[in-house]
Amino acid sequence: MATLTAPEREFALELKDLLCELRRRHWTLIRWGPEEGPQIMAAMFKHQTCADVFILRSEHQATAYRVPTLDDTGVFNPQNVTYQYHANPLWTLRAILALPAPGHPDAPIGIEVPANECFLPEKLPQPTLIRPLSPSASLTNN
């Protein structure tokens, strides 16, 4: 079993904290594959006219984007995006969590063609949807 170096431990802890932040902000989590070894994990937060999406492909690769949802097209495999970011999971999560809310003067509004990283691979197993906690739910057991 490999031992993590100090920077790797710090990276893992910060990534875990940011993933917890997604849950705290009531993002919906989606997993393709078994819990102990998923092929892909994603998180999604729906706004009124768009959705923010985070896709975790591996410990080294992640994608985030904002996709318009004015019609019935899905948030995965988008036709257009208004924002996209592709990097390691930590920086990608930081980027999507820092993205200004729709309607904010600094929120992205231009339409872009999504990069290949915005698309899910074909023939994934049936996804498992993990609903966000309700705003009144506690993360700790009382």
Q: Is residue 31 part of a domain?
A: yes
The one-letter amino acid code at 16 reads K
Q: Is residue 2 part of a domain?
A: no
The one-letter amino acid code at 43 reads A
Three-class DSSP category at 89: helix
- Predicted local distance difference test score (pLDDT) of residue 61: 95
Q: Which domain holds residue 122?
A: 27-130
**DSSP strand pairing (62-68 vs 83-87):** antiparallel
Total Cβ atoms within 10 A of residue 1:
2
- Predicted local distance difference test score (pLDDT) of residue 3: 56
Total Cβ atoms within 10 A of residue 40:
18
Could you read off the pLDDT tens digit of each residue along the chain, which spans 142 residues?
455 455 545 555 577 787 788 888 889 989 998 888 889 999 999 999 999 999 999 889 999 999 999 765 679 999 999 999 999 998 999 999 999 999 999 999 999 999 999 999 888 999 988 876 555 444 443 3
- Predicted local distance difference test score (pLDDT) of residue 52: 96
CA distance 90 to 117: 16
- Predicted local distance difference test score (pLDDT) of residue 21: 83
- Please state the pTM of the whole predicted model: 0.81
- Predicted local distance difference test score (pLDDT) of residue 136: 46
Q: Is residue 139 part of a domain?
A: no
Q: Is residue 140 part of a domain?
A: no
Q: Is residue 8 part of a domain?
A: no
Q: Which residues pair with 45 in a beta bridge?
A: 52
Q: Is residue 112 part of a domain?
A: yes
Q: Which residues pair with 51 in a beta bridge?
A: 46, 67
CA distance 98 to 22: 12
Q: Is residue 7 part of a domain?
A: no
The residue behind tokens 């988008």 is 78
- Predicted local distance difference test score (pLDDT) of residue 20: 82
CA distance 70 to 72: 7
Q: Is residue 13 part of a domain?
A: no
Number of domains making up the chain: 1
